[in-house]
Amino acid sequence: MKHNFTFIDLFAGIGGIRLGFEHVGGTCVFSSEWDADAQKTYEANFNEKPAGDITKIDPKDIPDHDILLAGFPCQPFSIIGAKQGFEHETQGTLFFNIEAILKEKHPRAFMLENVRNLTAHDNGRTFKVIISHLEALGYTVYYKVLNALRFGVPQKRERIIIVGFRDNLDFKYPEGSDKIVTIDKILEPEDEVDKKLYVRPEIRDRRNAAMKEKPDYVFISHENVAGTITPHRYSCALRAGASANYLLINNERRPSGRELLRIQGFPEWFKIVVSYSAIRKQTGNSVAVPMIKAVAEQMMISLFGGSKDE
């Protein structure tokens, strides 16, 4: 069931969170993303170039909206001096900009996405400050770690999803499914794969030799910092800053740009208008779209009532 509401898309990346909330009927009234390549991809797909650095935008200049969405970077908060206190302890961080917008616009709800380790960041202090500040703004706050693998994409990607409501509303996180989608389901036909994606024979052979035995199924292998090669039927979490050969299909080639988008659950119509290295970084920074869709559906139930099957 579609609902009529507006949202803003902060730290928008290439629009993965936007896709999830458009899916349930939302209209984006403002977006912000500072990276030029990500802006290019976003504009090509949504006909809208995001505003730049959110730290330079006055919250008063942001349109009114029903839901604030943000996949914000994780930063440490500074130790607060004796003359400062609760009011100042988030300043200098990107969370502070989210907080300032929530305080100014006071939307009906928000959804924030971050890495699983946010809860342990700075010995748990970062997360404690975030939750306490959101609650101090008058929001009923929920949080839970969800795994993209349970939402129909071939990727184990655990992310914390923080949801808040201006009113005292109940919220239930989506559970997903135990049925795992395997990597072979999203691969392009081999004759359509760019030959430049194939690694040198010595890289392939070294990876094969490093594995105790080569699986008899289509796999994607992951090389960790210690050099251990691990094959799986699904991808580990895509990473923006990983080396070019971090993930290999059957130890032979890198995933294509389209395959990387599929690993994150982006639709087939989504355009690639940047280099391979740029789309690899962008997908690593993005979200698993089906997981965000599922969260959006549950938020609609909280805000508008009814069931997601209506």
What is the domain partition of the chain in residue ranges? 5-177+285-304, 183-266
Tokens 């579609």, residue? 2
Instruction: State residue 242's pLDDT score.
Output: 80
Judge whether 74 counts as a catalytic residue: yes
Quick one: pLDDT band at residue 87, thresholds 50, 70, 90?
Answer: low
Radius of gyration of the chain (CA): 20
Round to whole Å and give the CA distance between 158 and 176: 13
pLDDT at 29 over 70: yes
Quick one: pLDDT band at residue 226, thresholds 50, 70, 90?
Answer: confident
Q: For 118-145, what is each residue's pLDDT tens digit?
A: 888 888 888 998 999 999 999 999 999 9
Round to whole Å and give the CA distance between 209 and 218: 17
Residue 186: DSSP 8-state: G
Q: What is the architecture of the domain spanning 5-177+285-304?
A: 3-Layer(aba) Sandwich (3.40)
Residues whose CB is less than 8 angstroms from the CB of residue 229 and which lie 6 or more positions away in sequence, other chains included? 207, 210, 211, 221, 222, 223, 251
pLDDT at 28 over 90: yes
Among 41-45, 61-65, 90-94, the minimum mean pLDDT is found in 90-94
pLDDT at 86 over 80: no
The answer to whether the CB of 29 falls within 8 A of the CB of 66 is: no
Instruction: State residue 77's pLDDT score.
Output: 57
pLDDT at 310 over 50: no
**0.85 exceeded by the pTM?**
yes
Instruction: State residue 82's pLDDT score.
Output: 40
Q: For 149-170, what is each residue's pLDDT tens digit?
A: 999 999 999 999 999 999 999 9
The answer to whether the CB of 281 falls within 8 A of the CB of 224 is: no
Round to whole Å and give the CA distance between 68 and 85: 26
The single residue of 29, 74, 131, 199 carrying the catalytic annotation is 74
Round to whole Å and give the CA distance between 196 and 199: 8
Instruction: State residue 81's pLDDT score.
Output: 45
Percent of the chain with pLDDT over 90: 77
Which range, 69-73, 79-83, 89-93, 185-189, is most confident? 185-189
pLDDT at 52 over 70: yes
**Mean pLDDT (whole number) for 282-289:** 96
